[in-house]
């Protein structure tokens, strides 16, 4: 092929691609999107570490953002009294995105779409049932918009919790996620069911901190879940996946460092410690270990308190009943390790390209 013909053909391909991108509608509302007027994930990450001896230290994570994106879908948080939420960014969605996704921003550009979520009132108090299919089609449209207009060939980390994980699982099952772009999928509190080879929709479980194109999933418990536990059901021949972010591929226990915003701390810790830190974030080093445990079809991330004489830090509590374990804290109970794991996976992904 002559150079002139090649250039003409290449120009045609570029024009066709641009036309295809233009045909993909823009998703209207993003909680987090680089370059937007109000990017909620672009927030202060300065953290107060509260140690077992009562001392404190303040630190700020370094920013080493690479050409990698994170696509985050938040859990069920809407309290609007309607079947499905609107697309207005309310406090619940904004704070949840900050609490669960903002800490990943030093390693990736975070994209987090609003979606018409089934609300906590759906099917109750005279409110009609909400549509879970509407949730999915919203996120699917936002995902396609992201791929067409923002991705630019970047690797991407999928991050979801609870309902967000269920939606991202549907995207993976439907083949909407190009395997060559997937750095990893962090699917927490979402009943990820895998086969005997620990694969979901063809994607393997992460078995090391440098494996890419793989899935990290778990539900956190501080005890053995009951037989009827939420987020612990699997079909015949499958089991719920547990990958310990502090030690992928291992069944041994490893330390995890909870990392919460102060807003979240006040909701899941029985008594707020004083004096209240002046930073948005607070962490609790050397407080817990985490270990993946599997019994039959069930598997969970077992969280154990590390005993320290004189340690007065408050234990993360169960606030939604005995069937849900530490579900509200799934992300933040090991957020420090999740961020470190994503950073390692990003390094490995870029090194292999």
H or E element that contains 264: helix 262-268
The model's pTM: 0.92
The string of DSSP codes covering 30-61 is EEE-TTSSS-TTS----EEEE-TTS-EEEE-P
What is the average pLDDT across 10-18? 43
Report yes or no: 326 and 303 within 8 Å, Cβ to Cβ: yes
Name residues whose C-beta falls within 8 Å of residue 253's C-beta, 6 or more positions apart in sequence. 247, 289, 290, 291, 302, 304
Q: Looking at residue 135, what DSSP letter applies?
A: H
Poorest-pLDDT segment among 10-14, 261-265, 288-292: 10-14
Give domain status of residue 116, yes or no: yes
Is pLDDT of 137 > 90? Answer: yes
**Residue 276 confidence (pLDDT):** 83
**Residue 103 confidence (pLDDT):** 96
Domain count, the chain: 1
What is the average pLDDT across 155-173? 98
Letter string b/e over residues 240-273, b meaning 16 or more CB atoms within 10 A of that residue's CB: bbbbbbbbbeeeebbbbbbbbbbebbeebbeeeb
Hey, what are 277's tokens? 């830190």
Does residue 207 sit in helix, strand or coil? Answer: coil
Give domain status of residue 321, yes or no: yes
Strand 281-283 with 193-194, pairing: unpaired
Report yes or no: 49 and 285 within 8 Å, Cβ to Cβ: yes
**Residue 1 confidence (pLDDT):** 44
Give domain status of residue 6, yes or no: no
Check residues 234 and 167 and name the one with the higher pLDDT: 167
Report yes or no: 215 and 184 within 8 Å, Cβ to Cβ: yes
178-205 per-position pLDDT tens digit: 999 999 999 999 999 999 999 999 999 9
Give domain status of residue 11, yes or no: no
75-119 per-position pLDDT tens digit: 999 999 999 999 999 999 999 999 999 999 999 999 999 999 999
Position 272 confidence tier, pLDDT thresholds 50, 70, 90: low
What is the average pLDDT across 147-173? 98
Question: Residues of the chain with pLDDT > 70: what percent?
Answer: 91
What is the average pLDDT across 280-295? 95
Give the domain extent around 274. 24-352
Give domain status of residue 4, yes or no: no
205-253 per-position pLDDT tens digit: 999 999 999 999 999 999 999 888 888 888 899 999 999 999 999 999 9
Does residue 95 sit in helix, strand or coil? Answer: helix
Give domain status of residue 283, yes or no: yes
Check residues 232 and 144 and name the one with the higher pLDDT: 144
Instruction: Please give the Cα distance from 160 to 224 (Å, whole number).
Output: 24
**Residue 321 confidence (pLDDT):** 63
Is pLDDT of 263 > 50? Answer: yes
Question: Residues of the chain with pLDDT > 90: what percent?
Answer: 78
As separate numbers, helices (DSSP H) first and strands (DSSP E) second, the chain gives 6, 18
Instruction: Please give the Cα distance from 176 to 120 (Å, whole number).
Output: 28
Check residues 17 and 271 and name the one with the higher pLDDT: 271
The overall average pLDDT reported for the chain is 90
Give domain status of residue 1, yes or no: no
Beta strands in the chain (DSSP E): 30-32, 47-50, 56-59, 68-73, 109-113, 155-161, 182-188, 193-194, 199-200, 203-204, 214-218, 220-221, 239-240, 254-256, 259-261, 281-283, 288-295, 298-305
Q: Which of 326, 352, 338 is nearest to 70 (CA)?
A: 338
Is pLDDT of 22 > 90? Answer: no
Give domain status of residue 3, yes or no: no
299-347 per-position pLDDT tens digit: 999 999 999 999 988 888 765 567 788 999 999 999 999 999 999 999 9
Phi, psi at residue 65, to the nearest 5°? Answer: -60, 130
In terms of C-beta density within 10 A (0-12 exposed, 13-18 middle, 19 or more buried), how is residue 235 classed?
exposed
Is pLDDT of 12 > 50? Answer: no
Tokens 């290449």 found at: 10
What is the average pLDDT across 46-59? 94
């Amino acid at each position: 092929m002559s150079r002139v013909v090649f250039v003409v053909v290449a120009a045609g391909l570029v024009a066709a691609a641009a036309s295809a991108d233009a045909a993909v509608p823009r998703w209207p509302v993003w909680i987090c999107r680089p370059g937007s007027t109000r990017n909620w994930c672009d927030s202060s990450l300065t953290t107060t570490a509260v140690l077992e001896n009562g001392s404190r230290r303040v630190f700020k994570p370094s920013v080493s953002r690479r050409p990698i994106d994170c696509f985050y879908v938040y859990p069920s948080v809407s309290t609007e009294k309607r079947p499905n939420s609107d697309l207005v960014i309310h406090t619940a969605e904004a704070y949840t995105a900050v609490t669960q996704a903002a800490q990943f921003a030093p390693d990736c550009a975070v994209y987090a779409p609003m979606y018409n979520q089934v609300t906590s009132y759906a099917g109750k108090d005279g409110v009609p049932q909400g549509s879970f299919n509407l949730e999915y089609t919203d996120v699917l449209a936002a995902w396609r918009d992201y791929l067409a207009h923002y991705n630019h060939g970047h690797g991407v980390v999928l991050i979801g919790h609870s309902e967000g994980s269920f939606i991202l699982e549907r995207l993976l099952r439907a083949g909407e996620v190009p395997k060559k772009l997937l750095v990893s999928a962090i699917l927490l509190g979402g009943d990820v069911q895998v086969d005997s080879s620990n694969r979901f929709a063809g994607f393997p479980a992460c078995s090391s901190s440098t494996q890419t194109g793989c899935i990290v999933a778990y539900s956190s418990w501080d005890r053995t879940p009951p037989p009827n536990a939420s987020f612990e059901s699997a079909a015949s021949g499958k089991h719920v996946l547990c990958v310990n972010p502090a030690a992928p591929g291992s069944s041994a226990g490893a330390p995890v460092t909870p990392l919460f915003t102060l807003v979240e701390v006040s909701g899941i810790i029985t008594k707020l410690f004083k004096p209240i830190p002046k930073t948005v974030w607070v962490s609790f080093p050397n407080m817990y270990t985490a270990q993946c445990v599997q019994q039959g079809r069930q598997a969970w991330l077992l969280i154990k308190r590390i005993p320290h004489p004189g340690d007065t830090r408050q234990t993360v509590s169960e606030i939604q009943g005995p069937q849900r374990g530490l579900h509200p804290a799934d992300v933040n109970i090991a957020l420090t390790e999740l961020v470190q794991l994503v950073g390692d996976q990003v390094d490995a992904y870029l090194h292999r390209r």
